[in-house]
Amino acid sequence: MKGRLTAVLVACALVLTSASTKADEATEATLQFELGAELYKQGKYVEALGRFLASHRLVPNARVVENIAQTFEFLGKLVDAYNWWDVHSRLATSSADRARGAKRRDALAAKVAAVDIQTTPPEATIFIDRIELGAVGRSPRRVAVAPGSHKVILKRKGYVPVEVDVDAKLGERTTVQQQMTPVKAAVAITSTPSGAVVTLRSSGAELGQTPLRIQLPLGSYEFRLKLPGYVDGTARTDLRTEGSQLHVPLKRDMMSVASLRIRGNVAARARIGDRDLGASPISTDAIPQGSYPLRIEAPGYYPWATNVTLEQGATLRVDYRLRAEESEIWPTARWFGYGVGGALLIGGGAFGLHAVSVKDDLEQDPSREAFDDLDTANLTADVLWISGAVILAATLIYDLIHEGPARSTGDFRLDR
């Protein structure tokens, strides 16, 4: 309670101080004006002008400006008179007073050279010839100058200063229309992972993808980063001339990705699609939903491969059993059996052809030697055929009933 009371008292004191300060300024402005009016009556126009200007600096007032313009006009300083009548035409509160100020200003147009200055955006501070001479107002503004060449200098916070050369002619109005260029600085935006789309939160304008480096006008910005499967990230910066660097670590959106758990009887490496998951046991929550080939392998073991489907927000649990590699005799024996059996059949065919040839010779020239040769050829052919057929049949039968060594296996389930 005491703290609140103190805060209220401080606030009241600040308000009273501010009001007192303004009251003091108004009082001093009135005094300066009255002194100026008295000096004007005495014919001390230069001294009166100083008082009027001091009053205007304290509290801008159309009545005071009118006196300043009249005094300058009386002193023959028509350029200054023109400019102060222009101020009066914009500062006066009533339309009649504004019209009167514009009329007095236009009446001097033929006796001065005027420059009509307009900028985009407006509110640029205007200097004529040198900054040291002080500002003559803000755009849009019509300014009277002495006839001849002049330099119009335009400055606005956050924009590149501009200098425009003008050739002002007596009795004419020269128009200056200037597009101000914003001062820009570089902002570098990165994210983990990269590839996030960067937009301006205020307008939704898309700027590009991370890593991103762009030039932006000075000012405060808030960026939004979007990447499928991740929660939107934001970054803020008050961009100044030295630039800015922003890094945004993005968090996974757990409802847009699937979880994967892999374990087995031995430590093994797992790969899903083209992504290496590392060594088991594996637990990851960063895989987008979809169907993938899964392969698990370890040195000295038969690999296991399958296809899996991941669903967003669900967990796929994989259990594998890899079998150690064993020396396999059967593949060698199988091809040996087929080879030997085939060779024996071919050999039997060769001896069969030889027996036919010997039989033809025996019919033309019967002899004991030819008869023994025929007997040997037939017997050899029969033995080779039968042996080859038996070996091939035995090999084929064993090949059909042999399952081979046990392979790696696994299973999985999806927890929703």
Q: What is the pLDDT of residues 11-38, one digit of tens each?
A: 444 434 444 555 688 888 899 888 988 9
Rounded CA separation 233/184 (Å): 24
What is the four-CA torsion angle of 126, 128, 134, 140, rounded to 10 degrees?
A: -20
Rounded CA separation 352/380 (Å): 8
Q: CA 188 → CA 7, 228, 369, distances in Å?
A: 43, 21, 104
Q: Indicate the residue type of 253.
A: D
Residue 8 has a pLDDT of 42
Q: Does 20-111 match 184-249 in CATH topology?
A: no
User: Topology of 184-249 in CATH?
Assistant: Immunoglobulin-like (2.60.40)
Domain parsing of the chain, residue ranges:
20-111, 184-249, 257-321, 330-401
Q: What is the pLDDT of residues 320-329, one digit of tens each?
A: 999 988 655 5
Rounded CA separation 146/113 (Å): 6
pTM (predicted TM-score): 0.52
Q: What is the pLDDT of residues 57-92, one digit of tens each?
A: 898 888 899 999 999 988 999 999 999 999 998 888
Beta-strand relationship, 233-239 and 219-226: antiparallel
Q: What is the pLDDT of residues 363-386, one digit of tens each?
A: 777 777 767 777 787 888 788 878
20-111 CATH, one of 3.40.50.1000, 1.25.40.10, 3.40.1390.10, 1.10.287.610: 1.25.40.10
- Classify 257-321 by CATH class: mainly beta
